[in-house]
Amino acid sequence: MSKLFKFILNIIPRPILIRLSYLARPILAFSMRGNKHTDPIDGKQFKNFLPYGYESPRENVLSPSTLSLERHRLLWLYLKNETDFFTASHKVLHFAPEQAFYKRFRKLKNLIYTTTDLDSPLADIKADICNLPFENDSYDVIFCNHVLEHIHDDTKAMQEMYRILKPGGWGIFQIPQDLNSAKTFEDDSITDKKERTKIFGQYDHVRIYGRDYFDKLRGIGFAVDEIDYTTTLSVEEIEKFRLAKGEIIPLVRKITTSPPVV
């Protein structure tokens, strides 16, 4: 199963995968019903989750019903239990919207919800994250999850998101991160796709973020909370929801209208 998923992920372009997944989900969800694991996003239970990953597929991590991964389920639990995202009025911008969230966020009556991306078929507005077509101080909430590792000029992307976030607004900018490394690693001289997949975890990633990611966000002007939400959950809950113990949710806030000089 892992080898098959690895083959599919590396051969089929992501936009096509997104479309195909809509057809596969009902079949997968039905065939894998059980009571061992629960997807908190839709409440459905399964005997196991599916494997996922480009280089070394992780076993038992992809929900058959919502196609959520560990990070999606962790974020859902945090938003549901620790924020007013589902109840208060928010103007939201969502970069590269994840399937697990897209329709659910779209249906929320308390949100003015806009999606953006260069390639995603789920994007309302096709836009370059380094040159966004939005006015200053436009959004209450910004989600930009597993996007920045694809962007060569991530400093410019962070500056643009800071610019369009309202003072007092907040965002969550998840990234694949090596918490054991102090420094972010990137090397543009590595151009072979197989080699990039081996080193960066995915052929279209341009870096592996280290712990300095949070300080880079602070240097842009954001106030940053490094939230390990798994510390609030029991071992049984972490296994039930198939979360990654110790994964950090980067919560950013804009507390001023004047960013520092970068």
Query: For each of the chain's 262 residues, which pLDDT tens digit applies?
Result: 445 544 455 555 555 554 555 556 656 665 677 789 999 999 999 999 988 877 677 899 999 899 999 999 999 999 999 999 999 999 999 999 999 999 999 999 999 999 999 988 889 999 999 999 999 999 999 999 999 999 999 999 999 999 999 999 999 999 999 999 999 988 888 888 788 878 777 778 899 999 999 999 999 999 999 999 999 999 999 999 999 999 999 999 999 755 554 4
d(CA 199, CA 219): 27
Structure tokens at 112: 């003015």
d(CA 246, CA 222): 22
How does strand 125-126 pair with strand 139-144? unpaired
Residue 25 is predicted with a pLDDT of 60
Residue from 170, 169, 186, 188 nearest 178 by CA: 186
Q: What angle do CA 260, 261, 262 make, to 5 degrees?
A: 110
- Cα angle, residue 69 at apex, residues 113 and 112 outer, rounded to 5°: 5
Let me know: does 124 contact 116? Beta carbons within 8 Å.
Answer: yes
Query: If we measure between CA atoms, which residue out of 87, 94, 82, 92 comes closest to residue 141?
Result: 92
pLDDT, position 52: 84
Beta strands (DSSP E) in 106-253 are: 111-117, 125-126, 139-144, 165-172, 223-227, 249-253
Cβ atoms within 10 Å of 231's Cβ, excluding its own: 8
- Strands (DSSP E) along the chain, which ranges? 33-38, 45-46, 50-52, 58-62, 90-95, 111-117, 125-126, 139-144, 165-172, 223-227, 249-253
96-135 burial code (b ≥16 CB/10 A, e <16): bbbbbbbeebeeeeebebbbbbeebebbeeebebeebebe
Which residue, chain included where needed, has tokens 């390990």? 228
Residue 56 pLDDT:
74
Fold of 70-253: Rossmann fold (3.40.50)
Per the CB < 8 A criterion, the answer to whether 195 and 170 are in contact is: no
User: Start-end ranges of CATH 3.40.50.150 in the chain?
Assistant: 70-253
- Three-point CA angle 40, 46, 48, nearest 5°: 110
Find the helix or strand (DSSP H, E) in which 120 lies.
none
pLDDT for position 24: 64
